Structure 1
Amino acid sequence: MVSYLGEIVLEHDMKTYVAERASDALIRMVNGGSTVIRKEAFRALVQISSHPPNSKILLDAGVVPIMIEEIFARRIQNEPLESKEEAAAILANILESDLDMDKIQVNKHGHTITSHYSIYNIVHLLKHSTQQELNVNLVKILLSLTKLPKHLATVVSVIKEIEVHQGIIEFLNSPMDELATVAAKLLIVLASHMGHTIAAGLCKIQGQPEGLVKNYDADRMTEKHAVSANLIAKIPHQNAPLNLALLHQGTVPIILGRIQEILRGEVRATGSRYAGYYLEGLVGVLVRFTTSLFDQEILRMALSRNLTSVFTDLLVRTGGSSEVQRLAAVGLQNLSSQSARLSRPPSDVKKSTKMSFFAKSGSGSQRDGRMTLLCCPTHRGVCSSATTFCLLESRAAERLLGCLESENPEVVEAALSAIITLLDDGVDAEGSVRALSDLGAVRSVLGVLKVHREEGVLQRALWLVDRFLEKGGDKLAREVSHDKVLTTVLVSAFHRGDSNTKKMAENILRHLHRILNFSTNSFRSASSSSADDPEVVAHVPLQAVLLADSFNLKFRPITLERPKVFVILGYTVLPPS
């Protein structure tokens, strides 16, 4: 019977049925059966544990301590090597479920699977194991243990202590795709804690780091390809040696070509399920280069490949991924931060069919067949997407403003950060405000404040509003002050935000107060000659709302802590007495 269970492929319902009725018997066979019976019992338990709902049944049956003993302690002469591999597979399957791992005990001494004791033994075994199947499941166990931050910290600490990170990196070159894939997944998780160490380790291995991008079968896209690209994307972007290694190994044209293949839909159906994740990884690798523009080689590549246009295109051609949109905005932010440095003074150039955006939208002067190009209103020089990464020239600013309508706050925050580079120090902020105002930026940013309350989004939107008021003149200031929601947002931000948010909200409120005072004084001076003019009266701004209340006691105790005008009854404020 047990050999039958180990050989046939069970449906999920049948796996649960067997788990409920045969778990205890299978565990007894593993503990005391012959070699053949133990092997078949293991196979049955591996299949049963692969269905996550069965994890609780197996846990209650006491399978975890048995599997830990099989992996680390059991020594029987002529025991098949597969017993360790299968025990690790069962444990990995159980940990991939949603059980509370802090309560999973591994021995009678009270150690849990998340304790330093258990993690140390797993990592130590991984360092010295040469069995690929066993290594796959040991890595899966560690990956499951990194789900919660406190357990991740222990895993990182032990990996550093035992110095096994280089061995995990070497798994990326394994001919076994499953081992390479799970190793890349684990390294992605570890990258936030030891990213530069991983980057240095990658550069020491033959065929890496370029192999994570170049090793690609045009006929099919696998999870390995997608995870490998995302590993490169998740390692800290500011690691210049890794970025240069990728550049020198010719990965950029490959990345750009594959991005276009995915966006054109030239991915076979067998790989389409990983296309979105793969695209995110490829775009993330491109963003890496934009953090190292201080290096002349990388700068020349970014200019020659016109990365501004690439990222601008990805703002709208996202492949259905909001993460691609966010990454494209981050890339544009990094590029735009270099525009002021790259912009050159205006000069006469030969008239060509491709004129500057500013020459088209402004009034250039033409003499002797030559066109004097207008200065970029932001960078005070001649700009283009291919020579200065200018967001206005490349039309990226328009698309970034369109991203502000996204429901994803991370996309909105990244788009706002990119727009901020057009108003930051080192640029002509007044010229930028005029150009952005023509694109409807004020309305778009105020719209963000009506929808989003996330701290990062709120800070960036308020910073822009403050800049608009400071540099935009009276007309723009009136447009901002007439927004009905802004004051409510500012008061809420002042009371609930952090110190930076409070400071920005206070600055904007002061701007608005000066505007209101100016409008009132102007009205008073005009009213002496046109007091009866209804058009003048209509422009008096709202100064304050007075909330009045009586001393009526009939609503006590409700009104002991809240004025009656603030009491809500049936979604309606109570009328005054």
Structure 2
Amino acid sequence: MIANIMDISAMIELMSSSHQQIRHASLRFLVELSRSQALGEKIGSATGAILMLIRVKFNHHVDSFAAEKADEILKNLERFPDNIKQMAENGFLDPLLNHLTENDSKVYVAEKASTSIIKMVQSGNTIFRNAAFKALSQISSHHPNGKILLETGILNIMAEMMFTRRIYDELMDSKKEAAAILANVLESGVEHDSIKVNTHGRRLSSDYAVYNIIHMLKNSTPEELNINLIRILLCLTKSPRSMDTIVSVVNETEASYTLIELINNPHEQLGVAVIKLLILLAPHIGNTLVERLCKTRGQPLGLMECPSGTNHITEKQALSARFLAKLPQQNLTLNLALLNNNVVPTILERIFLIQRNGTRTSRHATVYLEGLVGILVRFTTTLYEPQMLFLARTHNLTSVFTELVIKTSSDEVQRLSAIGLENLSLESINLSRPPQIKKTGSKKLFRLPNLLSSRSVETRKMPVLCPVHRGACSSETTFCLIDAKAVERLLVCLDHENDEVVEASMAAICTLLDDKVDVDTSVSLLSEINAIQYVLKVVKEHKQEGLLQKSFWMIEKFLARGGNKSVSDISQDRLLPASLISAFHNGNDSMKQMAENILRHLNRMPTPSATYYSM
């Protein structure tokens, strides 16, 4: 009833009365009315009502009682979204910020009030701009709002503020806030190639924009701004064109030094962000990054340190290990730097702890384990360096990788371990040597009786020769896969669903069929453990070209060197001919040749020596 007859506008006007009693009476009455569901919305819709209430609220020094009542009325009016929007449009954003805790509210505000808030950002009032930035930061943090905010033009505005906006008398850093909002929206997955960064039409993906973003990255820059700049760059790396630009700028400027130096920054979140970017850059400019890393104080050892001094694995620790593993593995400078800092005992100890405690103890444990194993693999790529060879022998890396290739829940650890075994096994033929028999100085001093000087005694004194490498072998000194009992484990990995794990495991086994070793004996040993059946299953279940090529290579070896049994086993596989014919028609030149050779072995194609007659 009151809602229908009450003139709210008149009551609002009374708040401006020159008589204090009238002002106070009108405010008391409005407090009571604002508690009503019906009247609360009506008060908010009255022309100028919310603006007047905000003015009274902030004039506390003029009339503290009126300010208190106005504040109470505004709180009652917050129950209605339209009222909150009007409060924000009139410079009072606290209610808006308070209601942005729920994602549904963020979506609603993004749809209804973001345009008004953006106008406040562009205004010259520092208080309004500060509050508006906070609101946009919260709205943009909810990824479904990304598309809505993109349509309002927020990205163009934020980018322009980052590059051109200068308001020196502001208490806040508008660049930092703009970068945070831009990063939030980009992380929602919106298209960024169309975003303009200035009035000249320069795009966010342009050389100009990337150069300026990277140029702003400095140790002297506030950590929050550095973090947000790197977040933007991480989003840009998803575009091949932008990635090429980032790689070019970092490689050709001092930015590579800056990025490496930021690793040492005590701000944990900044360190995490910069390492994520460096990991993405490593495949493109890895050697440049290694050079910078090894010239930076405290590095590369700093990436291996455990700041907490506990067994707790941080995200930065895990990413640091991954970064070291992703840098060019054959870079001897980095490998020697790690070796000289004696990191291997620490790596092995941490691998043992993770295996003992399990990866579930920390959400970063798996990434950390993969990084640690990747660092170990580095040392197997430069075994020509005597120090690396000594390290691999001292720590028996063959046995370490043999254990890891099975005892892990990580595909990447299995793949890396197989690669490590392959690298080590490739050196076995060079390290395996016939045993040297020491000659007795004088036969007169000691001579066995004829009955005891038998061949069996001499045989017992002779070291056992490796049938494949034709010399004295061990897993520790010559990295022999047979002595390490690694072959059986690698065969089990051929049953894996992951193509990369299977291919790495097969590559390690292929080292035992190299022309430098005794291939006949190796084929015989592999046949005893039914290796060819694993290979045939790979052909049946995997279609990756590199993997099929290795499989055909092995099958051809077994057919040529394995005798009738291998031919029989292979010819009985009903699905193999179809795979061979497909490769013969569609594969690369190498695949076609191997498929043709195998088909001839199986009498599926005529031999070149066959005589053809024409009519």
TM-score of the two chains, using structure 2 as the length reference: 0.78
1:134 paired with 2:217, answer no
Q: Matches of 2:366 and 2:182 in 1, distance apart?
A: 31
Cα distance, 1:15 vs. partner? 2.1
Conserved? CA contact 1:378–1:427, under 8 Å: yes
Residue 370 (structure 1) aligned to one of 436, 455, 460: 460
After TM superposition, the structure 1 = structure 2 runs for residues 72-111 of structure 1, keeping only pairs within 5 Å, are: 72-111=163-202
Q: 2: distance between equivalents of 1:143 and 1:99?
A: 14
Q: Does 1:344 align with 2:433?
A: yes
Q: 5+ residue gaps in structure 2?
A: 1-91, 439-454, 608-615
Matched, 1:34 2:125: yes
2:155 is matched by which residue type in structure 1? V
Task: Give the Cα separation in 2 of the matches to 1:385 and 1:53.
Answer: 56
Q: Please say if 1:384 is aligned against 2:493.
A: no
Partners of 1:199 and 1:162 in 2: how far apart? 15
Give 2:50's aligned residue: none
Cα separation, partners in 2 of 1:87 and 1:7, compared to 1, 3 Å: farther
Letter in 1 for 2:479: F
Q: In structure 1, what is the equivalent of residue 210 of structure 2? A: 119
| Aligned amino acid, residue 424 of structure 2 | L
Q: How far apart, CA to CA, are the structure 2 residues paired with 1:331 and 1:70?
A: 50
**Alpha carbons of structure 1 residues 172 and 263: separation in structure 2 relative to 1, 3 Å:** same
Aligned to 1:239: 331
* Match in the other structure for 1:59: 150
Q: Which residue in the other structure is 1:403 paired with?
A: 493
Please show how residues 415-564 of structure 1 align to structure 2 within 5 Å.
Answer: 415-513=505-603
Secondary structure, aligned partner of 2:597: helix
Name the CA distance, whole Å, in 1 between partners of 2:363 and 2:168: 46
What amino acid is aligned across from residue 496 of structure 1 in structure 2?
N
Distance 1:235 1:98 in 2: 28
Deviation for aligned residue 1:346: 4.1
1:222 aligns with 2:314: yes
Matches within 5 A, 1:261-300: 261-265=353-357, 269=361, 272-300=362-390
- Return the offset for 1:223: 0.9
CA distance in 2 between partners of 1:213 and 1:414 (Å): 27
> Does the 8 A contact of 2:219 with 2:258 survive in 1?
no
- Which of 231, 242, 254 lines up with 2:346 in the alignment? 254
Partner of 1:185: 276
Alpha-carbon distance change, 442 to 123 in structure 1, aligned in 2, over 3 angstroms: same
Offset at residue 431 of structure 1 (A): 1.0
Q: CA deviation at 1:109?
A: 3.6
Match status 1:19 vs 2:110:
yes
Q: Does 1:322 align with 2:411?
A: yes
Distance 1:392 1:402, change over 3 A: same
2:35 corresponding residue in structure 1 = none
**Contact 1:95 1:144 (C-alpha < 8 Å) held by counterparts:** yes
SS of residue matched to 2:406: coil
Change (3 A) 1:468 1:139: same
2:377 is matched by which residue type in structure 1?
V
The residue type paired with residue 162 of structure 1 is T
In structure 1, distance between residues paired with 2:348 and 2:132: 50
Q: Using a 3 Å threshold, how does the CA distance of structure 1 residues 462 and 157 change in structure 2: closer, same or farther?
A: same
8 Å contact from structure 1 (residues 347, 373) kept in 2: no
Q: Residue 544 of structure 1 aligns with which residue?
A: none
Q: CA deviation at 1:417?
A: 0.7
Q: C-alpha deviations, 1:219-256, integer Å up to 9, x for none?
A: 42111111111000000101001000001111111111
Cα deviation digits, residues 453-492 of structure 1 (max 9, x gap): 1101111111111111111122212211221111111001
CA distance in 2, matches of 1:256, 1:344: 29
**What is the number of equivalent residue pairs in this alignment?**
499
Question: 1-side partners of 2:236 and 2:295: how far apart?
Answer: 28
1:170-206 CA-partner distances (Å, limit 9, x unpaired): 0000000111111111111111110000001110111
**3-12 vs 250-259, which moves further:** 3-12
Q: Name the CA shift for 1:383/1:219 in 2 (closer, same or farther; >3 Å).
A: closer
Deviation at 1:20, TM superposition (A): 1.7
* 5+ long unaligned stretches in structure 1: 350-364, 518-577
Assess, with a 3 A threshold, how the Cα gap between structure 1 residues 89 and 514 changes in structure 2: closer, same or farther.
Answer: closer
Correspondence for 2:245: 154
Q: Do the aligned partners of 1:166 and 1:201 also contact (CA within 8 Å) in 2?
A: yes
Mapped to 2, the partners of 1:440 and 1:268 lie a distance apart of 36
Task: Note the aligned Cα RMSD (angstroms).
Answer: 2.1
Q: Percent identity?
A: 52
CA distance in 2, matches of 1:513, 1:126: 66
SS at match of 2:298: coil
CA distance in 1, matches of 2:359, 2:284: 34
Whether the 8 Å contact between 1:261 and 1:267 is mirrored in structure 2 is: no
- Does the 8 A contact of 1:212 with 1:225 survive in 2? yes
Partner of 1:338: helix, strand, or coil?
A: helix
Return the letter of the residue paired with 1:131: P
C-alpha change, 1:128 and 1:64, in structure 2 (3 Å) is farther
Give, in whole Å, the separation in 1 of the partners of 2:379 and 2:335.
6
**Which residue type is aligned with residue 321 of structure 1?**
S
Partner SS, residue 263 of structure 2: helix
In 1, the alpha carbon distance for the partners of 2:462 and 2:236 equals 64
Contact 2:251 / 2:288 at 8 angstroms: preserved in 1?
no
For the 8 Å contact 2:162–2:179, the answer to whether it is kept is yes
Q: Distance in 2 between matches of 1:160 and 1:203?
A: 16
1-structure distance, mates of 2:511, 2:239? 36
Specify the alignment match of 1:529 in structure 2.
none
Task: Read off the aligned partner of 1:307 and give its amino acid letter.
Answer: L
* AA partner of residue 227 (structure 1): L
CA 1:128–1:394 in structure 2 vs 1: closer, same or farther (change >3 Å)? closer
Q: Distance in 1 between matches of 2:432 and 2:312?
A: 43
Q: What is the distance in 2 between the residues matched to 1:497 and 1:56?
A: 44
Query: 1:466 and 1:419, CA in 2 relative to 1: closer, same or farther beyond 3 A?
Result: same
Structure 1 window deviating more from structure 2 (402-411 vs 382-391): it is: 382-391
Q: What secondary structure is seen at the aligned counterpart in 1 of 2:369?
A: helix
Instruction: Tell me how far apart the structure 1 counterparts of residues 480 and 197 of structure 2 sit (CA, whole Å).
Output: 59
Distance 1:5-1:286 versus aligned 2 partners, 3 A rule: farther
C-alpha contact (below 8 Å) 1:283/1:327 kept by paired residues: yes
Structure 2: distance between partners of 1:230 and 1:436: 35
